[in-house]
Amino acid sequence: MMRLTKNEMERLADFIFLRLKERERIILKAGEEEVRRRIYEEIEKDIVREHELDEEVERLIDEHIDRAGETVNRRKLFQMIKGKLAKERGIVL
pTM summary value? 0.76
How far is C-alpha 83 from the chain's CA centre? 12
pLDDT value of position 80: 93
**Residue type present at position 29:** K
As a whole number of Å, the end-to-end CA separation of the chain is 9
pLDDT value of position 1: 53
Residues near 68 by Cβ (< 8 Å), separated by ≥ 6? 77
Per-residue pLDDT tens digits of the chain, which is 93 residues long: 567 899 999 999 999 999 998 888 888 889 999 999 999 999 999 999 999 999 999 999 988 887 766 678 889 989 999 999 999 999 888
**Inter-axis angle of helices 6-22 and 32-68, nearest 10:** 120
Let me know: does 33 contact 2? Beta carbons within 8 Å: no
